[in-house]
Structure 1
Amino acid sequence: MTAKRTPARQRLLETADRLFYTEGVHTVGIDRVIEEAGVAKGSLFYNFSNKDGLVAAYLAGRDESRRKRVARHLEGLDDPVGKILAVFDALQEVVSAPGYNGCPFANANAEAAPGSVEAQALRTFRGWLADMFLALAEEAGFVDPADTADRLRLLYDGAVANAQLDAHPGAVGLAKELASMVLQASPRNVLQAKG
């Protein structure tokens, strides 16, 4: 019985994910991705149209993975404050993994033109992150959920940057500790604060 060969689309995505994340979207040429994926050049154009299509698919895959990871960390939690802090646990999982190289969206966007697929992916991710923190702050009953969410996002972003720039995965634990302090200091509506 012969082993089933991985489809060209999947091989291209897996190779792009590895190369784009470790070396950079703008550094890695499409010919290298094609060669390392072991596919014909036509496979790229059939599956993604061009490099932008492949970059968009790579970033969409990273976005989906991040959302699933956060959802997994929130699963089974009832306490809204616990849910907020669990977002930092999901981040800790990422920054502690071998090969952590920062935020794939920010990295890809660093040299991208405004309106590019990289810029769009960054806006999509940032919108999701902002909406998630806001929804959790509203669920927790904070009097000013937008302000609380902004503070949490700033701590999250700082942890991402510090973990990469200073190779300091412990930054996430510190950010989670500070987030807990922010949550304790932020006024909550009486009924939700008791729940």
Structure 2
Amino acid sequence: MAELTDSAVRPTTHAKVRILATADTLFYSEGVHTVGVDRIISESRVTKATFYKYFRSKDGLIVAYIEGRDKRARAALQDVERRHDTPERRLHDVASMIATEVRTDSFHGCPFINAAAQFADPMHPVRQAVSIHREWYVSTIEDLFRGMGHPRPGDAADDFFLARDGAFSGANLGDPIAAQTALLRAVHRMIEDSAG
């Protein structure tokens, strides 16, 4: 009996998974409008028919990309909740994760803000997918401030996102170290306000 080669033993990655992984990389690094379907098809090594079997349109793929990023963000925050037992520690950890992210070589800004900026219509499915993510994230951060006893948790969450979005933009356009430092300083002040 002939020996099986590694490629014969190892199953190939499912076509839909390859399409999503390719789109995730290209959309984030180059922008959702810049990358065409033909390039995604080519780089994910699928046929056009296979692509359209799973995604009716490029917009459908962009929504799937946003939903995938949303799932990762939710999983990351669930991990934070498992690691820390107080809202203060959880918020510090979230800020630390963001501060670390803005200094990576592969950082290209917030994938949600980047995608939303390319769709003007707030009713577009991509904008709606971004809004679902944003509403969940804001609510989660507001709950952390509420858990700390902040007198105005909604305002604190707004301040947090202003600092976060500013850090993402500042790191992407300018100085990641300054953006990281400013974010951590702002979040530290917000936590102190909760204690005060």
Same fold? TM cut 0.5: yes
- In 1, the alpha carbon distance for the partners of 2:89 and 2:130 equals 27
Give the CA deviation at 1:71. Answer: 2.5
Query: 1:50 is matched with which residue: 54, 57, 81?
Result: 57
1:90-169, aligned counterparts within 5 Å?
Answer: 90-114=97-121, 115-169=123-177
1:28-47, aligned counterparts within 5 Å?
Answer: 28-47=35-54
- Seen in structure 2, the aligned counterparts of structure 1 residues 169 and 53 have a Cα distance that, compared at 3 Å, is farther
Give the CA deviation at 1:96. Answer: 2.8
- In 1, the alpha carbon distance for the partners of 2:68 and 2:100 equals 17
1:15-94, aligned counterparts within 5 Å?
Answer: 15-94=22-101
Q: Is this contact kept in 1: 2:80–2:93, CA < 8 A?
A: yes
Moved more, 114-123 or 22-31: 114-123
User: 2:21 — aligned with what?
Assistant: 14
Counterpart amino acid of 1:92? Answer: A
Question: What is the Cα-based RMSD across aligned positions, in Å?
Answer: 1.7
Q: Is this contact kept in 2: 1:74–1:86, CA < 8 A?
A: no
Q: Is this contact kept in 1: 2:148–2:195, CA < 8 A?
A: no
Aligned residue pairs: how many? 188
Moved more, 35-44 or 79-88: 79-88
Q: Is this contact kept in 2: 1:148–1:183, CA < 8 A?
A: no
Give the CA deviation at 1:110. Answer: 1.5
Give the TM-score normalised by structure 2: 0.88
- In 2, the alpha carbon distance for the partners of 1:178 and 1:110 equals 25
Give the 4+ runs in structure 1 shifted more than 6 A: none
The percent of aligned pairs where both chains have the same amino acid is: 34
Give the CA deviation at 1:118. Answer: 2.1
Structure 2 residue ranges without an equivalent (≥5): none
Counterpart amino acid of 2:154? Answer: A
Give the TM-score normalised by structure 1: 0.88
Q: 1:56-83 CA distances to partner (integer Å, 9 max, x unpaired)?
A: 1111111111222233233221221121
Q: Is this contact kept in 2: 1:74–1:87, CA < 8 A?
A: no
